[in-house]
Structure 1
């Protein structure tokens, strides 16, 4: 039975992968043909973008930075801010989910601040902070609130029946917290983290476009748009999308491992 289920899952995964590969290949083919027809320096073909990508990977850009340097700089900035958001957002979400009065007391601060776009804080961050800290602040602001609010929602949706059963079996408050409340809130917390990671990745690219650092994918795109080298800029844009996709897939695999106990809903 387990072998049959595993075979069905692997067969479905292969079909999904094949469909996605065909879709992406068709998109690139349409792009290539359209670029050849238009024949504009501002709309390079897919093969020209691939060539530009290889050149920046091997030779480097006009300042000597390779594509890997730009990518790693952006990734490290995102991970530093995202890690800080997880460290602060998860415990605060647990506390506010369990203690309604704490959430009510801080609501007048949390709600207005979460509606301010993280990029709006850029001038202040660049004025007060230096190096990775200014980028970490922007990423933290983008990733913190999805983690916080999802954790609060997950805690509040914990079944009172599960808590009562744990009490019947003699569980103390600490055991109920870590063996009932946290596992119950984990699916929504992880969903919030995945959303926060995506928001953080979008924020870092925008921050790098406006920042003065010479390295970073956002800076690479801006630099080459100013030089009217759209092929290199598109190479940076494609890499941003690819890295975002890979980070999301990696996080989903972590999510699956941590939530093996959760049953998959099928319609």
Structure 2
């Protein structure tokens, strides 16, 4: 236990050192460049304080931008989980269903969410635009991970319960679903990362003026790169925090699966 605690402290210290090194390297490069389009770390910090206390050029606070982006992310990601997991389970359990629709699903999977923007602008309005693009980005990682995990369930476990006369529903509920849950969680983590990648594109096409993606677009048009970088860092930091929370929950729920740990 003590060794594990020391290892975690060492890992934390190395991460802090890496972060400090990147900040120093950024400052040295910015000082060498002396370009108004490559801000110093101090300028980025000042921009963050200004956005947090005074708001952006339209008076919208940074916390409001973050809140609305989180609402959109969680809505689209939640929809992706509610559709991707049941559909992946169904098609994994009944492969004929997947094979019959593969010619439709697979080509759509390779179309990037950004390619759907023109249709989204024409066919959808308001909040549905954001939800659809984020759902589209998160859906396929969740769906594919769920689908493939069903096919990798150990057949020995299934055959054992069949020998004792277990029904199909009992087998699904007590053997298949517990076996595939860790892989589903992995797909959800990947989907969450892609959802954050989609939020900028989704908010840039929306009519609302609130959201981290909209904040980045505002200051990109004004060529104020310090504020743009603040928006980028906000997305990165919040995504990192959500991913870390996901890892903690995974480790707690799936302690029995050593391979779920990233140690």
Please state which band the TM-score falls in when normalised by the shorter chain: over 0.9
- Relative to the length of structure 2, the TM-score reads 0.95
Are 1:112 and 2:107 counterparts? Answer: yes
Residue in 1 that maps onto 2:257:
262
Kindly state the Cα deviation for residue 21 of structure 1 after the two structures are TM-superposed. Answer: 0.7
Alignment length (residue pairs):
262
1:54-65 equivalent positions in 2, closer than 5 A? 54-65=49-60
Kindly state the Cα deviation for residue 16 of structure 1 after the two structures are TM-superposed. Answer: 1.1
Task: Output the aligned Cα RMSD.
Answer: 1.6
Higher mean Cα deviation, 158-167 or 210-219?
A: 210-219
Whether the 8 Å contact between 2:142 and 2:187 is mirrored in structure 1 is yes
SS in 2 for 1:60: coil
Kindly state the Cα deviation for residue 165 of structure 1 after the two structures are TM-superposed. Answer: 1.4
For 1:170-205, what per-residue CA distance to the aligned partner results, in whole angstroms no more than 9, with x for missing partners?
A: 432222111110111112111111101100110011
Kindly state the Cα deviation for residue 258 of structure 1 after the two structures are TM-superposed. Answer: 2.0
Are 1:132 and 2:132 counterparts? Answer: no
Alpha-carbon separation, structure 1, partners of 2:203 and 2:149: 34
- Relative to the length of structure 1, the TM-score reads 0.94
Alpha-carbon separation, structure 2, partners of 1:7 and 1:180: 36
Residue in 2 that maps onto 1:167:
162
Alpha-carbon separation, structure 2, partners of 1:151 and 1:16: 32
Are 1:144 and 2:135 counterparts? Answer: no
Whether the 8 Å contact between 1:74 and 1:205 is mirrored in structure 2 is no
Are 1:30 and 2:21 counterparts? Answer: no
Higher mean Cα deviation, 134-143 or 249-258?
A: 249-258
1:17-96 equivalent positions in 2, closer than 5 A? 17-96=12-91
Alpha-carbon separation, structure 2, partners of 1:136 and 1:203: 10
Residue in 2 that maps onto 1:239:
234
Residue in 2 that maps onto 1:218:
213
Residue in 2 that maps onto 1:207:
202
Alpha-carbon separation, structure 2, partners of 1:195 and 1:86: 12
Counterpart pick for 2:178 among 156, 179, 183: 183
- The structure 1 segments of at least 4 consecutive aligned residues displaced by more than 4 Å after TM superposition are none
Alpha-carbon separation, structure 2, partners of 1:200 and 1:158: 28
For 1:127-173, what per-residue CA distance to the aligned partner results, in whole angstroms no more than 9, with x for missing partners?
A: 22222211111011111111111111100001110011122344322
Gaps of 5+ in 2: none
For 1:85-113, what per-residue CA distance to the aligned partner results, in whole angstroms no more than 9, with x for missing partners?
A: 00010011011001011001110110010
Kindly state the Cα deviation for residue 266 of structure 1 after the two structures are TM-superposed. Answer: 9.9
SS in 1 for 2:145: helix
